[in-house]
Amino acid sequence: MKFLAIVKWDANGRLDKYQVFETEVEAQSHVLRVAGRFPGAFVAEHPGGGYEDWLIDPLTSTLSVVPRPIVPPIPHPLSVEELYEMLVSKGVVSTPDRPDGVVQARK
């Protein structure tokens, strides 16, 4: 497990400056070294990847994470014939040669 020395965040609590350390002792040591320039600095466990944002609560010296939204898979694209058939079936496009709206694939 890795640790973060969190030293700076913006007015909205978004993480602005940090450093990753292999051990908590190393992270604490860094925080002590920079305490004069960053008085609110603190150490937190590294949450790993896959997050949209890291938010800081300076009053409690805690790090919260915002997960990335789940993006649905992109559907398989329709062929020109399939798209045309779909538009005809929904009444968006009509075919003068076929009153029932059935479209034969052209080759």
SS (H, E, C) 37-105: CCCCCEEEECCCCCEEEEEEECCCCEEEEEECCCCCCCCCCCCHHHHHHHHHHCCCCCCCCCCCCCCCC
Q: Are strands 51-57 and 42-45 parallel, antiparallel or unpaired?
A: unpaired
Number of domains forming the structure of the chain: 2
Residue range 2-13: mean pLDDT, rounded: 94
pLDDT in tens, 11-51: 999 999 999 999 999 999 999 999 999 999 999 999 988 78
Same domain for 61 and 13: yes
Indicate if the pLDDT at residue 105 is higher than 60.
Answer: no
Same domain for 91 and 60: no
Indicate if the pLDDT at residue 76 is higher than 80.
Answer: no
Same domain for 37 and 19: yes
Q: How far is CA 57 from CA 16, 23, 71, in A?
A: 13, 22, 28
Same domain for 55 and 41: yes
pLDDT confidence of residue 6: 96
Same domain for 36 and 13: yes
pLDDT confidence of residue 107: 47
Same domain for 59 and 11: yes
Indicate if the pLDDT at residue 59 is higher than 70.
Answer: yes
Where in the sequence is the domain holding 100, given as residue range(s)? Answer: 72-107
Same domain for 82 and 52: no
User: At 11, is the secondary structure helix, strand, or coil?
Assistant: coil
pLDDT in tens, 79-97: 878 877 888 788 777 666 6
